[in-house]
Structure 1
Amino acid sequence: MSARHQQLLWLWGGLLAVLLSLLFLPLTAGQRGLALLLVAVVTLAGVWLAQRKSREPLAEEACLNGLPDAPYRLPVVLVCGDTDDWPGEGPVYRTAQGCWLQVAEAALQQTVRQLLGVRPELVSQLAVMACVAPQQHDSRDMLTERLLTLRWQMVQILRDTRRQVPLLLSSRIAAHDVSSPIWQSARVDDGIQVWQEGKVPVSASVWLSQEAASACLHAQILFSAHAHFVSETVLPALVGDNPDMPAARPAVVLYHHVRGLRNQRKHSLWQQFLVSHTTLKEIAGWAPGDDTGAGGLLLPDFILPSLPQGGGTTPRNRMLRPAFCLFTLAVLSALCSSGWNNRQLLHRLSFDISQYQRTPMHDAISRAKAVTTLRADAAFLNGWWRNGEPLRYGLGLYRGEWLRLPVLAAIRSYVPPPQPPRVVKKVITGPQTVRLDSMSLFDSGKYQLKPGSTTVLVNALVGIKAKPGWLIVVSGHTDNTGDNTFNQALSLKRAESVRDWMRDTGDVPESCFAVQGYGESRPIATNDTPEGRAANRRVEISLVPQANACQVPGTHGVTLTGDALKK
């Protein structure tokens, strides 16, 4: 499974985890919609970036074809530098202790990126070994430039992998007097060890005690000069002060003495170093330019057990672990959200119940509002009890059934306030206003009743009754013909004539009457037509309630009816 597919799986897994969490988070509808929109945008951007990276052309991956199949736990060492005498036919060389991969210094970072894309599980097992053969270089500046390139590549590898990849520094020289290749490793924690082919690594003191005195002396001189060369020429380029990049400090420095070496230069850096530091052009057992006995590059398998190893997991297992972590995170988030929602529900319902119980009985309005709130709470609790609670309250944390019964009990305890007594209003209605035509009672411009008007008055005033608390109002009206002052006086005189007739005929006290003359000020029709003027010439009689009106001493009230008027 490639890294691009893993990125997509991570992306979709994270999306599912976020969506699962959003179902339980205490968000409003608007907040939930905004969160879903944000998740959709991030998802689309992630898919686009992953597909864009998948379309980017990778460098030649032929060097990775021979890598061991997953799962693989042993170290994988990228070997760069002076590797002209590589022992294998291809770039991948496997041994019982691990796997060696030949790469060019300039392609070191690109190879690591290929591993991240094709075999990301091997990144935790990576190490880098830089091989330096001083006898194959004649320019110190060119060697320093190559080492600075290696240093920059290590910085990039650290940025890409986000982990410190161990760096091994191997320096190799030819010594003809050695019967078999000799390694000497300098480690910070274990000190100096010597390794020979077919033998286990031993400390330098043990090795000196085991070998012949002359051979040990020559080897010790070579090792000392070799170590001096590395510390003076090679290490400054890797660990020296440089404002542009951090130091690439080797975890182990290996000094390798072999019987022969290919491609030796006559004026190599090693020969220049010997001349400048010992005034010798050669050391016994070494002859420049002689390739007799030269063999292939020998790789230090003895150092592999101390390098990082992998867990031996397959790509499927590597994906199952983060998927399980994402799922667990989503479930925990959903549980926490559900717990928070149920806590808020409990708090709100408890507050509503306590608010109802704290409301005084005499405060009927507040108590009615409190019980209305409880009825609303009971409505959705009953709905959830019948149809199931919402998902955001689920996962076995819902306690609404426990809350429903106290809410219903509080509602049942509510006693509505007594209804106020009904107020019966006695509406006393009197007769309608009696309107009499003045021309049927009076002659034009006169206020004396005409003969024969008694019959008109008796028939019209059948419903008019005088009794305590009521006032008989007699008002006269005229049209606008003639002088306004005359019309005012005429209307008053006509009203008084009608009052006098009612008073004298029905034996009604004068306190029961009120006389008003309005003249032409209150027309009920237009005065521009004969019909309108005839309607405006009128006398109106009506009953008006008034306290202490029409009171006759020694009587309970006097009633004037039509029958009395006839007498």
Structure 2
Amino acid sequence: MTPAVNEGRGYPLRLLVLFAFALTLALIWLVLPLERGAAWALTIVGTLAACAMLAWRTRQLAHASAQNAQVLAALGTVISAIPDGMHTSMPLVLLTGDGLAALFDRDDTARLAWVGNGAIWLRVDEPNALPRLAAAVKQWRDGRAPDGVVLSVAPALHANADALAQKLRLVRQAMADASRLLGTRLPGYVAVYQRLAGRGPIALVTRDHVTDAPQWYGVASPTLLDGTSAFESAVRAAEGAVQETSRVRDAVARTARSAGIALIVDWTQRVVMGTLLDRQQPAAPWPLHGAGWIDCGPASGPDSPWEREVELRTKVAPAPIAASPLPWPLPQPLIESMPVQRQTAPRMAALGHALALLACAAAVAFWGTAKNNEVLLTKIDADLTRFRAIPSEHDAAKRDALASLVADRDQLDRYARTGVPLRLSFGMYHGAELIVPLNHAIASYAPPAPPPAVVTLDSMSLFDSGKAQLKAGSTRAMVGALEMIKAHAGKRILVAGHTDNVGDPASNLRLSVARAAAVRDWLVDASGLSTTQFAIQGYGDTRPIADNDTQEGRARNRRVEITLVPDAAKQAPSAQ
């Protein structure tokens, strides 16, 4: 099995981006109440954002795969004998710091990873590589981050305390960067490898045999440890373990071992933890979950920080101590109390995020459909209100409002027959309830009565006998005709004059024309209409409506008739 950094086994971010983009397009074009220009603008912005995120993710995966190929290939080689799936269930620990070659060079083979002691151990030679490798491990383990980071400290490998503090600060910064990159705080442990002064390892007697294997002393917890109290309990536990497990007859050796453990714990607290836990540093403090010490490590000489510490505290220069045989034991006891990760597999997390996106899209869709329905109902209500507010005398405006009602009713009928569109659905549509009031309003329209064909004015009330000038006060007789003309401003007006048969016919014809012109001029001034809308005609005595042999008949024949006719230009289409 050869692991690889790819999105197929990890979090499918690109697939999720495409899903979110599809949801966005559906909302923009099918649901949201947007103008066409705004919809296109949002579509372009969303497309550019999705393409940028896909390109960034693709580049990130390719870069991570290229950088971590060697380590991940080593992991694949090491765990090839492990059943499939165990790489996510076994604890995986990143080990950095001192003495990595002595810890990983097993079976005369240099290794980058090791499976043993109940965990997968991954070697991190450079502290700066810790964040990158932690992210690669998380991707390789289907979204499960490393279970912890162990810092190995071998005091004998450092020339002075300042150089050790500088390296500890680098590791602390790398740990903070890794936790920030992963989005979770990784548990941290410190393993100190130091040969204690004067003696070899204490022989431990079990029921079956005696073993000379070096033992770990320390403390570990699933929760964060407080430095001072944790180290005090570690010293007491270590001294007690030495007294209880040791069966050697040399009491001096036991006493020396207890004193050595107390010294190394105190030194670790002041020098190592003083740097890792100092809150004055810019990086986050080391998330301490455990610390352990073992009587194992490199050769110790008089120039190491530890030896100088012993000489300062005891006033006795310790003798040089030989290096422990390789390989050094891995700090397995430290991780036995490792906190259990409760992480969701990346594909399950992606499914949850997809459902969350779907829920957000549904919420936006509900809002959009509610808004669309509100706009529809508001428009129909406004059309109904406008139609009812227009008096029947204003027939042109009434008919325009009626056309809007008919369009609204036809739209609602179409929805009832073919189905409600998505932008109005989701249970928000109530337009069917408005069909009945629309039909009632449409049925309530009654066209106005047709205008009178002819308005007849008595010439004797307008003119003196034989005259064509309007008499004073005669305009009152034409007020009715004026109101009719204003109410039908789109009509043309024909003003015709008539006389009786008394007198010369030619004179009567000229008089009828002159009287029609006088009435026309007054109507033009009073109505404000153009002269081109009026026509005059004189008929003289040629069109009597009564018998000219009687006085009453001649009075009826002396008249001016005002007739409203449709404009010829407006009648042409209907005539055609």
TM range (shorter): 0.5 to 0.7
2:93 aligned residue (54, 73, 77): 77
Give the match for residue 403 of structure 1. Answer: 434
- Determine helix, strand or coil for the equivalent of 2:420: coil
- Determine helix, strand or coil for the equivalent of 2:405: helix
Give the match for residue 45 of structure 2. Answer: 38
Give the match for residue 262 of structure 2. Answer: 224
Give the match for residue 63 of structure 1. Answer: 71
Give the match for residue 134 of structure 2. Answer: 112
- Residues 271 and 368 from structure 1, CA distance in 2 versus in 1: closer, same or farther, beyond 3 angstroms? same
Give the match for residue 538 of structure 1. Answer: none
TM-score (norm 1): 0.65
Deviation (angstroms), 1:203: 5.3
Alpha-carbon separation, structure 2, partners of 1:254 and 1:173? 13
2:218 aligned residue (164, 184, 203): 184
Alpha-carbon separation, structure 2, partners of 1:256 and 1:555? 142
Computed over aligned residues only, the root mean square deviation of the Cα atoms, in angstroms, reads 4.4
Give the match for residue 304 of structure 2. Answer: 268
Give unmatched runs, 5+ long, in structure 2.
Answer: 204-213, 458-464, 469-501, 511-537, 542-550, 555-576
Q: Does 1:288 align with 2:323?
A: no
Alpha-carbon separation, structure 2, partners of 1:262 and 1:364? 108
**Counterpart residue type for residue 416 of structure 1:** A
Contact 2:165–2:275 (Cα < 8 Å) also in 1:
yes
Alpha-carbon separation, structure 2, partners of 1:407 and 1:230? 88
Give the match for residue 53 of structure 1. Answer: 60
Give the match for residue 190 of structure 2. Answer: 169
**Counterpart residue type for residue 202 of structure 2:** V
Deviation (angstroms), 1:293: 5.9
Contact 2:383–2:404 (Cα < 8 Å) also in 1:
yes
Cα deviation 1:471-512 (Å, max 9, x = unaligned): 9xxxxxxxxxxxxxxxxxxxxxxxxxxxxxxxxxx9969998
What are the within-5 Å matches in structure 2 for residues 195-344 of structure 1?
Answer: 207=241, 210=244, 217-240=255-278, 245-258=282-295, 260-282=296-318, 288-291=320-323, 296-311=328-343, 313=345, 315-344=346-375
Contact 1:192–1:204 (Cα < 8 Å) also in 2:
no
2:452 aligned residue (414, 419, 422): 422
Instruction: Mark the structure with the bigger radius of gyration.
Output: 1
Alpha-carbon separation, structure 2, partners of 1:330 and 1:507? 93
Give the match for residue 377 of structure 1. Answer: 408
**Counterpart residue type for residue 334 of structure 1:** A
Give the match for residue 495 of structure 2. Answer: none
Contact 1:185–1:194 (Cα < 8 Å) also in 2:
no
Of stretches 204-213 and 105-114 in structure 1, the one that deviates more from structure 2 is: 204-213
- Determine helix, strand or coil for the equivalent of 1:122: coil
Alignment coverage as a number of residue pairs: 441
- Residues 332 and 301 from structure 1, CA distance in 2 versus in 1: closer, same or farther, beyond 3 angstroms? farther
Give the match for residue 391 of structure 1. Answer: 422
- Residues 387 and 28 from structure 1, CA distance in 2 versus in 1: closer, same or farther, beyond 3 angstroms? same
- Residues 356 and 73 from structure 1, CA distance in 2 versus in 1: closer, same or farther, beyond 3 angstroms? farther
**Counterpart residue type for residue 22 of structure 2:** L
Cα deviation 1:229-288 (Å, max 9, x = unaligned): 113222233333666x32432413413122x42344442211011112321223xxxx53
Alpha-carbon separation, structure 2, partners of 1:296 and 1:510? 144
Alpha-carbon separation, structure 2, partners of 1:91 and 1:415? 91
Alpha-carbon separation, structure 1, partners of 2:244 and 2:363? 64
Contact 1:166–1:250 (Cα < 8 Å) also in 2:
yes
**Counterpart residue type for residue 278 of structure 1:** T
TM-score (norm 2): 0.64
Alpha-carbon separation, structure 2, partners of 1:403 and 1:511? 68
State percent identity of aligned pairs: 20
Alpha-carbon separation, structure 1, partners of 2:324 and 2:439? 103
Contact 2:220–2:335 (Cα < 8 Å) also in 1:
no
- Residues 303 and 216 from structure 1, CA distance in 2 versus in 1: closer, same or farther, beyond 3 angstroms? farther
- Determine helix, strand or coil for the equivalent of 2:192: strand
Alpha-carbon separation, structure 2, partners of 1:420 and 1:272? 122
Alpha-carbon separation, structure 1, partners of 2:553 and 2:325? 158
Alpha-carbon separation, structure 1, partners of 2:505 and 2:6? 119
1:100 aligned residue (121, 140, 143): 121
- Determine helix, strand or coil for the equivalent of 1:86: helix
- Residues 507 and 7 from structure 1, CA distance in 2 versus in 1: closer, same or farther, beyond 3 angstroms? closer
- Residues 178 and 356 from structure 1, CA distance in 2 versus in 1: closer, same or farther, beyond 3 angstroms? farther
Alpha-carbon separation, structure 2, partners of 1:325 and 1:275? 63
Alpha-carbon separation, structure 1, partners of 2:120 and 2:158? 28
Contact 1:261–1:295 (Cα < 8 Å) also in 2:
no
Contact 1:20–1:334 (Cα < 8 Å) also in 2:
no
Q: Does 1:91 align with 2:107?
A: no
Alpha-carbon separation, structure 2, partners of 1:513 and 1:84? 134
Contact 2:147–2:338 (Cα < 8 Å) also in 1:
no
Cα deviation 1:286-330 (Å, max 9, x = unaligned): x533236665223234534433425473x5434433333333333
Alpha-carbon separation, structure 1, partners of 2:238 and 2:153? 22
Q: Does 1:150 align with 2:171?
A: yes
- Determine helix, strand or coil for the equivalent of 2:429: coil
Q: Which has the higher helix share?
A: 2
- Residues 343 and 210 from structure 1, CA distance in 2 versus in 1: closer, same or farther, beyond 3 angstroms? farther
Deviation (angstroms), 1:117: 5.1
- Residues 9 and 214 from structure 1, CA distance in 2 versus in 1: closer, same or farther, beyond 3 angstroms? farther
Alpha-carbon separation, structure 1, partners of 2:244 and 2:305? 32
- Residues 469 and 46 from structure 1, CA distance in 2 versus in 1: closer, same or farther, beyond 3 angstroms? farther
Deviation (angstroms), 1:513: 12
Contact 2:5–2:139 (Cα < 8 Å) also in 1:
yes
Cα deviation 1:66-117 (Å, max 9, x = unaligned): 2665472443221001223215563323347543211112422331243355
Deviation (angstroms), 1:211: 5.2
Contact 2:159–2:304 (Cα < 8 Å) also in 1:
yes
Contact 1:154–1:248 (Cα < 8 Å) also in 2:
no
Give the match for residue 36 of structure 2. Answer: 29
Deviation (angstroms), 1:377: 0.9
Alpha-carbon separation, structure 1, partners of 2:45 and 2:394? 49
- Determine helix, strand or coil for the equivalent of 1:13: helix
- Residues 55 and 349 from structure 1, CA distance in 2 versus in 1: closer, same or farther, beyond 3 angstroms? same
Alpha-carbon separation, structure 2, partners of 1:137 and 1:380? 86
Deviation (angstroms), 1:32: 1.1
Alpha-carbon separation, structure 2, partners of 1:337 and 1:96? 59
Give unmatched runs, 5+ long, in structure 1.
Answer: 428-467, 472-505, 515-542, 547-553, 558-567
Contact 1:169–1:254 (Cα < 8 Å) also in 2:
yes
**Counterpart residue type for residue 348 of structure 1:** K
- Determine helix, strand or coil for the equivalent of 1:174: coil
Give the match for residue 529 of structure 2. Answer: none
